[in-house]
Amino acid sequence: MKTLSVGSLLACKAIKRTSLISKIFIIMIMAMTFLNLLVVRGVLVGIPDSSLKNVRADEVGDVLVSRLEGKNEIEQSYQLFTNLDQDNQVAAYSPRYRVSSILESDYGRTKKQTENSSRRSVILFGLNPEAEKIVTGFDRFIIDGRFLQKGDSNKIVLGKGLLSNYATPGENFTDEELLQNVNVQDKILVTVNGQSTEYEVIGISSNKGQADNRAYITDTQARLLLSKTNPDTAEIAIRLQSGVDIDVFADNLRSQYGDKAKVETYIQATGQFLDDIKTIFDYLSGFIGIIGVFIASITIFIVIFINAMSRKKEIGIMRAIGVQPGIIMTSYIIQSMFYAVSGIAVALVIFGYIIEPYFVQNPIDFPFTDVYLAVDSKITLIYVFILVSAAFLAGFIPSRIVLKQKILALILGR
């Protein structure tokens, strides 16, 4: 305790003697280093995290039930509907039909049959508009026109990735593969099983996901196109009540309907790709973080070393009058820790009150998703521990180097 108290007193006096500009400069270096750790990891890990969250919120819900491979629909869907209606863990669900179709624009003009600039094979999704609003809030993705309404007949919503007027050429398809001259209120020709029907485009959607390359009609219209008399659907997006364990719910559903449908959590439905990307970006952010910590450690090391070397005579005199080396070493470690902790505190304030709120309101606009910063309190604490440990060593090593010299050499400045 004596070593700590006397060392603290010496450290406080040394910090007071340091000019205000120097103190601000050192603290800001530490703050920028720590901010670099948080922001770089937040962006890198935020890319797959945001994509996964958007897929969950915008497309598949918490659990996705889909047809088995080789099947056209989920068999005996009505049994599943009944169970979902009675299950208090389910907040809402949206049945969807899938219809293979060919969309064609400019079909009234004379053109060669081989010309495909205004023809496109597309999977039509038949939706219950009200259910879809609850499960995915699909209506908020409408960038032009309106969303489907119950009772709409021969109305269609197109993803912007299908249209040359809205898509950016080269994003997913070349300009030749996009439908030409299609806007809201225009008519397109929908061909299913060789039968063509004229549909009015009532809306254009965009969520930077799969919806951009899909077309949507009401479930009633989809059943008519498929000539269906039963309620069996191709997939069901399920939204669960808050707090429900998604994995347990999916396992229970899988045990009951695994022979009739494929049951996946939103993570499983997204596939392994995003999980692999997250792992890679975790390693990458860790590597960048190590470089940042190394730079900060070198900076503090240099500052403390120069400070110690410039006060060699003072250190020698203290040694000569009986001040223990441990006390002197403690004073320099405390100085180093002061700059590190101050920098971390400044960085946390900037990050928590400026950077993070900014990105919440202004996510990074990536072509495939809106990216928010991924913030993990456990990782943040690990970064704090690493940086403080580095600061400890940056104070210990220079003071140890100086204190190894003989007292007379220190007093004479040799």
Dihedrals phi, psi of 256, to nearest 5 degrees: -90, -35
Give me the residue spans of the domains in the chain: 2-56+274-412, 63-243
Q: How many CA atoms lie within 13 A of 225 on its CB side?
A: 30
Residue 264 zone, left/alpha/beta (φ > 0; ψ -120 to 50; rest):
beta
Q: What is residue 293's predicted lDDT score, i.e. its pLDDT?
A: 74
DSSP class of residue 152 equals: -
CB atoms within 10 A of CB 193: 10
Paired strand residues for 198: 189
Q: Is 382 exposed, middle or buried (0-12, 13-18, 19+ CB in 10 A)?
A: middle
Q: Torsion-angle region of residue 210: left (phi > 0), alpha (psi -120 to 50) or beta?
A: alpha
Residue 218 has pLDDT above 90, yes or no: yes
Q: What is the three-class DSSP state of 55?
A: helix
Lowest mean pLDDT among 162-171, 341-350, 396-405: 162-171
Question: Measured between alpha carbons, how far is 190 from 103 in angstroms, rounded to an integer?
Answer: 5
The rounded mean pLDDT for the chain is 84
Average pLDDT over residues 288-314: 76
For the stretch 67-102, pLDDT in tens is 888 888 888 888 899 999 999 999 999 999 999 999
pLDDT at 165: 82
Task: Give the residue among 228, 188, 226, 224 at the shortest CA–CA distance from 204.
Answer: 188
Segment among 80-89, 149-158, 223-232 with least mean pLDDT: 223-232
Write the CA distances from 100 to 186, 251, 322, 400, integer angstroms: 21, 31, 89, 75
In this predicted structure, the answer to whether residue 270 has a pLDDT above a threshold of 90 is no
Minimal CA–CA distance to 125: which of 173, 171, 162, 70?
Answer: 162
Q: Name the pLDDT band for 190 (thresholds 50, 70, 90).
A: very high
Which pLDDT does position 110 carry in this prediction? 47
How confident is the model at residue 414, as a pLDDT?
63
Task: Measure the CA–CA gap between 274 and 270, rounded to whole angstroms.
Answer: 7
Greater confidence (285 vs 130) lies with 130
345 or 395: which leads in pLDDT: 345
Task: Determine contact, residues 202/156, Cβ cutoff 8 Å.
Answer: yes
**Is 74 or 317 the better-scoring residue by pLDDT?**
74
Give which of 232, 50, 203, 219 is closest to 138, Cα–Cα. Answer: 203
**386 has which bridge partners?**
none
Q: pTM here? A: 0.72
**Residue 413: per-residue pLDDT:** 65
Question: Phi and psi for 120 in degrees, rounded to 5?
Answer: -150, 135
pLDDT band at 337 (very low <50, low <70, confident <90, very high): confident
Does residue 391 contact residue 293 with C-beta atoms inside 8 Å? no
Cβ-Cβ contacts under 8 Å for 281 (sequence gap 6 or more): 44, 45, 47, 48
Q: In sequence order, what are the residues at sequence separation of 6 or more whose Cβ sits closer than 8 angstroms to the Cβ of residue 298? A: 394
Which stretches within 351-376 are classed as H helix? 356-361
- DSSP H/E element including 117: none
- d(CA 74, CA 76) in angstroms, rounded, equals 6
Encoded amino acid at 135, one letter: V
pLDDT tens, residue by residue, 102-150: 998 877 654 444 454 478 889 899 999 999 999 998 888 899 999 999 8
Instruction: Count the neighbouring beta carbons within 10 Å of the beta carbon of residue 199.
Output: 23
pLDDT of residue 345: 93
- pLDDT band at residue 407 using 50, 70 and 90 as cut-offs: confident
**Burial zone of 376 (CB within 10 Å; 0-12 exposed, 13-18 middle, 19+ buried):** middle
Q: 301 CB contacts (<8 Å, ≥6 apart)?
A: 394, 397, 398
Extract the runs of DSSP E, i.e. beta strands, from 32-136: 63-66, 90-104, 119-127
* pLDDT value of residue 108: 63
